[in-house]
Amino acid sequence: MTTTAPTLTPAQLESLGAELDAVRAEVIADLGERDLDYIRRVIRLQRALEVSGRGMLLFSLLPPAWVGGTTALALSKILDNMEIGHNVMHGQYDWTGDPALSSHDFEWDTACPSEQWRHSHNYLHHTHTNILGKDNDVGYGILRMADEQAWHPASLGNPVYAALLALLFQWGVALHDLDITAIAAGEQPSEVTLDKLRQIGQKVSRQVLKDYVLFPVLSGPSALTTLAANATANVVRNVWAFTIIFCGHFPDGTVVFDEADTVDESRGQWYYRQLLGSANLTGSAPFHLLTGNLSFQIEHHLFPDLPAHRYPDIAPKVREICERHGVPYNTGGLGSQFGSVVRKIVSLALPGSGRAPSTDPAPVTAGPPVAKPTRTLATKSGTKRPKRAAA
């Protein structure tokens, strides 16, 4: 997909920002029981899948029970990570006042401590989206995912690293906030590193004990088949999460930025960067549910603190705004988007650019200095509750 980004004047960027702000304000004004009922239904579904899966795995010596239990458990883990954990920890439901939906207290069924994920993802990634040297999600510290990243002989392993990251994704995410690059450069104090390692060790221990000791032992004669089912469910969840996340950030048409591009960035410029650095996936309602509505990655990067189930409603409005301003709106099917990601991973393993640039983003027209926007990614306690819609 070849995309040419327009050159926008400061006035056009201000207009773009104002229109997108209006979309966000409209949703906030309408938040209410519909949203609370939705996330509680998803939580009930996730728990039902986990209970039924664990129950079937008590009889996992029987192949139908193993397949059914593994499938239910994998779906449960996907919902827990994608539609519930990811979105709750973004503060999308803090306005409800429900302690079970608090972004600061929620813990999810994966190896990464939630506190570290909120820093590496909510703050670093969503503030500095696709800025080389600032957004550690660009390649996760091991992959070359942009022409602008320097090639090293180690880059030849790009396809192998990607395959291993997909299979072991929860473990890669668990180490993400550790920031190996900063450690190697001597930029992270040892006490900070040790504290992070302690948190990771505690969370990993709980996950391993639960999935690979406790539930297999409770299965009695089916211990080994239950252990295999738990491992399989985790791998399925890992590969699915990797696929959806990479399709939202790295298919053809997405853009990376230098830090110099974002100095004194206005709100409109911040929105513009999110639009150019993200991509959507088309699909059915069940598909979007299983992606945590991250199939609407464009809308998520624009409005990370809005309930994700609202993204399908606002996507047509965002697309219309993009078309009017001449800004690309990158969307496509799972096969085509993931295919372009795989081609990029393979081609960028080689020296040089490895491929023709997928986009030629024009810089914004220079204008008077503007204040850098403050992004609030999670509603803080004490904030006025949004207007509730009629039940």
pLDDT at 7 (0 to 100): 82
Phi-psi region of 175 (alpha: psi -120 to 50; beta: other; left: phi over 0): alpha
User: 179 Cβ partners below 8 Å, 6+ apart?
Assistant: 136, 141, 188
pLDDT at 352 (0 to 100): 76
Q: What is the residue whose two structure tokens read 């029987």?
A: 62
Bridge partners of 280?
Answer: 296, 331
Using an 8 Å Cβ cutoff, are 307 and 292 in contact? Answer: no
Evaluate if residue 381 carries a pLDDT over 90. Answer: no
CA distance 188 to 54: 42
pLDDT at 375 (0 to 100): 30
Domain ranges within the chain, ordered by starting residue? 10-347
pLDDT band at 177 (very low <50, low <70, confident <90, very high): confident
pLDDT at 133 (0 to 100): 87
The pairs formed by 147-152 with CB atoms below 8 angstroms and a separation of 24 or more are: 147/348, 147/353, 147/354, 147/355, 147/357, 148/256, 148/258, 149/348, 151/348, 151/350, 151/351, 151/352
Using an 8 Å Cβ cutoff, are 16 and 7 in contact? Answer: no
Average pLDDT, the chain: 88
Phi-psi region of 373 (alpha: psi -120 to 50; beta: other; left: phi over 0): beta
Token pair, residue 385, equals 């509750």
Using an 8 Å Cβ cutoff, are 46 and 37 in contact? Answer: no
**pLDDT digit string (tens) for 99-135?**
999 999 999 999 999 999 999 999 999 999 999 988 9
Comparing 9-18, 66-75, 182-191, 320-329, the range with the smallest average pLDDT is 182-191
Tell how far CA 139 is from the center of its chain.
13
Q: How far apart are the first and last CA of the chain?
A: 44
The arithmetic mean of pLDDT across residues 305-315, rounded, is 98
Secondary structure (3-state) at 281: strand
**pLDDT digit string (tens) for 137-152?**
998 889 999 998 999 9
Using an 8 Å Cβ cutoff, are 86 and 78 in contact? Answer: no
**pLDDT digit string (tens) for 349-378?**
999 754 443 444 433 333 322 223 333 223
pLDDT band at 379 (very low <50, low <70, confident <90, very high): very low
Say if residue 373 is exposed, middle or buried (CB neighbours under 10 Å; 0-12, 13-18, 19+): middle
pLDDT at 353 (0 to 100): 56
The arithmetic mean of pLDDT across residues 167-196, rounded, is 87
Evaluate if residue 188 carries a pLDDT over 70. Answer: yes
**pLDDT digit string (tens) for 209-254?**
999 999 999 999 999 999 999 999 999 999 999 999 999 999 999 9
Evaluate if residue 261 carries a pLDDT over 90. Answer: no
Phi-psi region of 348 (alpha: psi -120 to 50; beta: other; left: phi over 0): alpha
pLDDT at 187 (0 to 100): 83
Comparing 175-179, 234-238, 300-304, 326-330, the range with the smallest average pLDDT is 175-179
Evaluate if residue 90 carries a pLDDT over 70. Answer: yes
Using an 8 Å Cβ cutoff, are 349 and 158 in contact? Answer: yes
pLDDT at 141 (0 to 100): 85
**Strands 280-281 and 331-332, how do they pair?**
parallel
pTM of the predicted protein model:
0.87
Token pair, residue 235, equals 């791998």
Cβ neighbours around 277 below 10 Å, total: 24
Residue type, 306: L
